[in-house]
Amino acid sequence: MSGTGDFDLFRTSEDHDDLRAAVRDVVEAKVAPYAAEVDADARFPREAHEALVAADFHAPHVPEAYDGVGADALATCIVIEEVARACVSSSLIPAVNKLGSMPLLLAGSEELKQRYLPPLARGEALFSYGLSERDAGSDTASMRTRATADGDTYVLNGQKSWITNAGESELYTVLAVTDPDAPRGKGISAFVVERSDEGFTFGEPEKKLGIKGSPTRELLFEDVRIPADRMIGEPGTGLQLALRTLDHTRVTIGAQAVGVAQGALDFAVGYVKERRQFGKHVADFQGIQFMLADMAMQLEAARQMVYVAAAKSERDDPDLSFFGAAAKCFASDVAMKVTTDAVQLLGGYGYTSDFPVERMMRDAKITQIYEGTNQVQRLVMARQLLKG
């Protein structure tokens, strides 16, 4: 972990700054007004999706060769951060589109990329990711979903759990065991599954603490026949591909965490400057000022970690595993603290749904859990350190 070459990232380019302003304009006009309703009704944020597609912010990571805008990893993080500042559920549209399609970008054949990336780039399809199972969450190598070779097809049976945007997405990257006799973790392969594939169905939507506007459901496979040419990469390389994918996409969860923390801090600052108690503004009390200073300090540290990790993702640096895990872990812990403190700063009002910070606190919690719990992130970091 040399850290060299990263200092230029402490100042974003003019293009990045212009992008942030453009995303913020779209979000304030087309996303923020619906955020509370989307949460209360637990419905997919259609208004946000339409606005993001219209502005090419729904899957900015797709290269220009596949009809995308070719945003770099930092630009993609800025998009996700700015959307999450108003609505974390909506930020899962660009975040999960990258997660679902990243295996294709890393290892897919040119034919697969040409088939599936342009519809994603044009906003005609969402792309989800199916890795976890009921009994294979952090322990992904113990998955039981099977893909059995049958001529020039594979027959898929099993299930996947906690799949973001399930039912809304047209496309799914799904990991399944193709060689049950291989050593642990070595017999797993990745496939593209289409929503219309016969035998592919969904469980009921999960009832969740937060991100209620982003549907989370099981994927259910009953004799789903997949053409062999939909395999991503070589047989048996799926788990390694899944881990490489997460190295890149954990950075986007860090960006999401930074965004929701920024939204909570912004609202809390505005509130304490207006609210009066004991004859003066709440912001005039030193104890409140210390809380705000700590929130802002930790948030800026998290932002810099995420941006440096994004630069490493763009270059595919060899120490990305450490920096991706560190950025995701630190930023999500900060998001949980900052949003909880924002609720505290609003007092009784903070605990009501009349104000957005309680939603932000509930939404922030998932960033410590998905794409690898923060306990798993610490294992990833420690192993990288011990490997030298």
For the chain, list the domains and their CATH numbers. Answer: 7-126 (1.10.540.10), 128-237 (2.40.110.10), 239-387 (1.20.140.10)
3 state SS of 154: strand
The interaxial angle of helices 73-84 and 238-274, nearest 10 deg, is: 40
Give the distance between the most distant pair of CA atoms in the chain.
Answer: 79
The β-bridge relationship of strands 153-164 and 216-227 is antiparallel
The β-bridge relationship of strands 127-130 and 171-177 is parallel
Name the phi and psi angles at 295, rounded to 5.
-60, -45
For the chain, residues with pLDDT lower than 70 are: 1-10
Q: Show the CA angle centred on residue 262, arms to residues 87 and 257, nearest 5°.
A: 65
Dist CA 186 CA 168 (whole Å):
31
How big is the chain by its Cα radius of gyration, in Å? 21
3 state SS of 163: strand
pLDDT confidence of residue 150 = 98
> Which tokens in the block code for residue 207?
């009832």
The predicted-structure confidence for 251-290, as pLDDT tens digits, reads as follows 999 999 999 999 999 999 999 999 999 999 999 999 999 9
> Which tokens in the block code for residue 256?
């999401």
Residue that is written with structure tokens 């995303």 in the block: 23
pLDDT confidence of residue 302 = 98
How much is the mean pLDDT over the chain? 96
Are residues 190 and 226 in contact, defined by beta-carbon separation less than 8 angstroms?
Answer: no
Classify residue 281 by burial, with Cβ atoms within 10 Å: 0-12, 13-18, 19+.
middle
pLDDT confidence of residue 257 = 99
Name every residue whose Cβ is closer than 8 Å to that of residue 53 and which is 6 or more positions away in sequence.
123
Q: Which residue from 102, 118, 101, 109 is spatially nearest to 65, judged by alpha carbons?
A: 118
Dist CA 204 CA 166 (whole Å):
10
Catalytic residues: 371
> Which tokens in the block code for residue 272?
């304490």
Classify residue 45 by burial, with Cβ atoms within 10 Å: 0-12, 13-18, 19+.
buried
